[in-house]
Amino acid sequence: MSISTIWIYGEATNGSVSTTTLELITGARQLADTVEVIVHGDASALASQLGEYGAAGVKSIGDLGNALPGPQVASAIAGAIAEGNGPSAVLCATTYDGRDVAGRLSAKIDTPVITNVVELKLEGDRLLGVEPVFGGATNVTTGFTGSSAAIFLVRPKSFEADPSGGAAASVGDMQVGDTGNTNTSVVKDRFVEETTGPKLDEAAIVVSGGRGLGESEKYEMIENLAKLLKGAPGASRAVVDSGWVPYSYQVGQTGKVVKPTVYLACGISGATQHLVGMKGSANIIAINKDEEAPIFGVADLGIVGDVHKVLPQLISALEARG
């Protein structure tokens, strides 16, 4: 049982395909006869990596110049669909650019998007997306009723990237159609913020702080702890919304999904919004004053206590280990 073709919007930096794209290919190759990846720039540089994970083909829309990808990628895919050369389904990852592509494509081909998908299923020749709601307590499975290409926005880490050992993907190109006034955003400059330690969504240990820290200065404890554990610091939405740390630190529904070996939640009550982003962690430790806090419902080790007492002691104990 499978569908004929899935297209994936492929993201790459410096000639290397992003992990989220490889995850999507891994998930898609079990569902479709043919998986093809739509990229911009030099497709031939990516062909062997994409093929290794199961993509049969890679098609480039050409060089973007300094434009943002959304309008041109969506235009190329919509053009192919209009000519009858489109796929059964298009997958984009829930990334900054993936959402732009999916949203624009949706409006162009007048088809809604099934979003926040963490699992894809087949029902006959129809692809369905599974979306967790209420903090992941309930899974909702949704499909399209129409005959047009289905569009899914899939959350990172929904599949584990796993090479299938396939041959290099065949390389082709695609035409970008008329983009009207939409393609006028220009990237003038790119700034890389210096970070030390592992990335939040790749770290084996994540230490997250929440509103229970009380004030922004106390977030330093989270950073210290993360450093001592060679992990990455994260945050709940409340902390990000208060401006203590940037959005890139946010774990949860509106932020990143993390699945580390150990997740340490400090002063986080465990709103449904947060649980969706971290309940897939292998081991969860939670420290919170309120014994009724929902975070304890997912914790392997729950400490009912004051983060302002426990964290300094934990930091000292780790420092003593050297």
Partner 1 sequence: MNIVVCVKQIPDPADPGALDPETKTLKRDVKLILDESDSYGVEMALQLRDEAGEGEVRLVSMAPNNETSGLRTALAMGADSAVLVSDEALAGSDALSTAKVLAAAIDRSEPTLILTATESSDGYTGTVPVQIAEILDLPSITFAKEISVNGETVSVKRQTEEGYDEVECPLPCVVSVTAGVVEPRYPSFKGIMAAKNKPVEELDLTALGIEKGTVGWAGARQEISEIAEAPAREAGEIIVDEGDAHERIMAFLDELKVL
Contact criterion met (CB below 8 Å) for 206 and 264: yes
Transcribe 41-60 into DSSP letters.
Answer: S-STTTHHHHHHTT-SEEEE
Q: Which window, 23-31, 81-89, 139-147, 166-174, contacts partner 1 (CB under 8 A)?
A: 139-147
| Cβ closest to partner 1, residue 39 vs residue 47 | 39
Transcribe 256-281 into DSSP letters.
Answer: B----SEEEEES----HHHHHHHTT-
119: enclosing H helix or E strand = strand 119-123
Least distance to partner 1 from the beta carbon of 299, Å? 5
Q: Which window, 21-29, 42-50, 162-170, 247-255, contacts partner 1 (CB under 8 A)?
A: 247-255
| Cβ closest to partner 1, residue 30 vs residue 247 | 247
302 binds partner 1 (CB under 8 A): yes
The residue within the footprint of partner 1, chosen from 2, 34, 170, 242 (CB under 8 A), is: 242
Q: Which window, 50-58, 113-121, 169-177, 213-221, contacts partner 1 (CB under 8 A)?
A: 113-121
| Cβ closest to partner 1, residue 79 vs residue 132 | 132
The residue within the footprint of partner 1, chosen from 14, 188, 217, 292 (CB under 8 A), is: 188
Distance CA 38, CA 12 (A): 11
Catalogue the long-range contacts made by 43-46 (C-beta closer than 8 Å, 24 or more residues apart). 43/171, 43/172, 43/173, 44/171, 45/15, 46/10, 46/12, 46/15, 46/17, 46/169
Least distance to partner 1 from the beta carbon of 95, Å? 8
The residue within the footprint of partner 1, chosen from 14, 124, 165, 186 (CB under 8 A), is: 186
The Cα angle at residue 139 between residues 95 and 283, in degrees rounded to 5:
75
Q: Which window, 34-42, 53-61, 104-112, 164-172, contacts partner 1 (CB under 8 A)?
A: 104-112
Distance CA 12, CA 3 (A): 26
Chain positions 29 to 58 lying near partner 1, rule: CB under 8 A, are none
215 binds partner 1 (CB under 8 A): no
